[in-house]
Copies of this chain bind each other. A is one copy, B any other.
Amino acid sequence: MEIKIVKTANPKEKPEEDSLIFGVEFTDYMFEMDYTEGIGWHDAVIKPYGPIEIMPSAMVLHYAQEVFEGLKAYKTPAGEIQLFRPDENFKRMNRSNARMCIPQIDENFLLEALKALVKMDESWIPKSPGTSLYIRPFVFATDPFIGVRVSKRYKFMIIMSPVGSYYKGGMVPSRIYVESEFARTVRGGTGEAKCGGNYAGGLAAQQKVHEMGFEQILWLDGEKRQYIEEVGTSNVFFLIDGVFVTPSLEGTILNGITRKSVIELLKHWGETVEERRITIDELYQAYQQGKITEAFATGTAAVIAPIGTLGWKDVEMTFNDGKIGEYSQKIYDTLYDVQTGNKEDPLNWIVKL
């Protein structure tokens, strides 16, 4: 499919690199393409970023048939543009689409479209340490019909936002609370899909733990309220007795790309990683025995977020004296250096433009 290009007559003024805020300002361009049953995906276009028109009856506004992705583009010291594992994002988007009954999208075409869009907005990729261009591909149901069924029309878009360093004053370990009343999902639900409903459903718990003085939730499984699943919208790792343990993919948690990369990197370093089910009881026992030396969350936004304290009922578990762990720092630094082109790419993750 050919991508039509509509140039902007009024390029926007770029924000200062030292005051970038996540997800607020967007670049000059966006990518858009529509799906119609019987026709397929059509009318691919890169055009000036701006409002879209939808009918108030558009199914997304009623039944939330929608999926999104998140990844980043970086400018290397040599001035090259690079993307971190974009193929993994588009593969996951298609898996999410399958779960949400949204039609599949050609992954090679998506990569081509993304490259074309990033190229158009090349001047928007910030260069300061810690900054990047956050990329948001997403798809939603546009059928102007308010019966409950699978939509016959969709819109796929990519929008992009320059973002500042996640850790402005340096990495700070966070306070996480183990939630056992609210549930994020359950076996047979949409937990593995990166769909809107999972995120809206989590907001009330996020508000609750904020009020309790914690920054994020550690979700337990919906069935037994025992198995550890995710931290907020990130995956989670514990270093127990010298072994890295992370919840296995049982269909209820997000198949994180940073999670996958951290596992690959640790194995590349010769470390032992166990992907398995782990209960909060087992974790607490290991904590009491002094076996947990580090805990951290992984995700696209923060890359690595060390966990300083884990609240559970009336207990507070503190890991590594509440300080950043050796591995948390080393993994962060390595991923950051590979992503930004400051270090070579031993595991073939980078796609250059």
Encode contact with B along A128-152: 1 for CB under 8 Å, 0 otherwise.
Answer: 0000001010101000111111100
**Which of B30, B136, B195 has a CB less than 8 Å from the CB of A146?**
B136
A35 within 8 A of B: no
State which of A81-89, A178-186, A241-249, A276-284 sits at the interface with chain B.
A178-186
Q: Is the CB of A57 within 8 A of B26?
A: yes
Interface string of A231-245 (1 = CB under 8 A from B): 011000000000000
Which residue of B57, B146, B186, B199 contacts A64 across the interface (Cβ within 8 Å)? B199
Cα distance, A157 to B146, chains bound together (Å): 14
Instruction: Determine whether A94 belongs to the interface, using a CB cutoff of 8 Å to chain B.
Output: no
Q: How far is the CA of A51 from the CA of B222 in the complex (A)?
A: 39
Find chain B residues with CB under 8 A from A54 CB: 51-52, 54
Given A55-B51, A56-B30, A60-B60: A188 and B183 within 8 A (CB)?
A: yes
How big is chain A's contact interface, by range? Answer: 35 or more
Residue of A30, A197, A222 with most chain B CB atoms under a 10 A cut-off: A197
CB distance from A149 to the nearest CB of B (A): 7
A165 an interface residue at 8 Å Cβ cutoff? no
Does the CB pair B64–A64 fall under 8 Å?
Answer: yes
Residues 179-220 of chain A, each 1 if its beta carbon lies under 8 Å from chain B, else 0: 001111111111000011111111110110000000000000
A66 and B145 alpha carbons, distance in the complex (Å): 16
Residue of B nearest to A55 (CB): B51
Taking CB as reference atom, which chain B residue is nearest A199?
Answer: B63
The one of B23, B50, B66, B147 that contacts A23, using a Cβ cutoff of 8 Å: B147
A182 neighbours in B (Cβ, 8 Å): 188-189
Q: A200: which of B64, B199, B223 is its contact (CB, 8 Å)?
A: B64
Q: How many copies does the complex hold?
A: 2
Residues of B contacting A134 in the complex (Cβ-Cβ under 8 angstroms): 146
A197 touches which of B50, B144, B198, B207 (Cβ 8 Å): B198
When A56-B157, A196-B64 are in contact, do A189 and B222 touch as well, CB less than 8 Å? yes
Cα of A134 to Cα of B147 in the assembled complex, Å? 11
CB distance from A97 to the nearest CB of B (A): 11
- Which of B149, B185, B204 is within 8 Å of A186, CB to CB? B185
Residues from chain B with a CB closer than 8 A to the CB of A56 are: 30, 49, 51-52, 157, 159
Question: Measured between alpha carbons, how far is A232 from B232 in the docked complex, in Å?
Answer: 30
Within A86-136, the residues touching B (CB, 8 Å) are 99-101, 134, 136
Q: Which residue of B60, B100, B203 is within 8 Å of A204 (Cβ)?
A: B100
Contact with B along A3-34 (1 / 0, CB 8 A): 00000000000000000001110100010000
Given A195-B200, A200-B66, A204-B100, the answer on whether A186 and B61 have CB atoms closer than 8 Å is no
The 3 A-B residue pairs with the shortest CB-CB distance in the complex, in nearest-first order? A197-B197, A64-B196, A183-B188
Interface residues of A (CB under 8 A from B): 22-24, 26, 30, 49-57, 60-66, 68, 99-101, 134, 136, 138, 140, 144-150, 157, 159, 161, 181-190, 195-204, 206-207, 222-223, 232-233
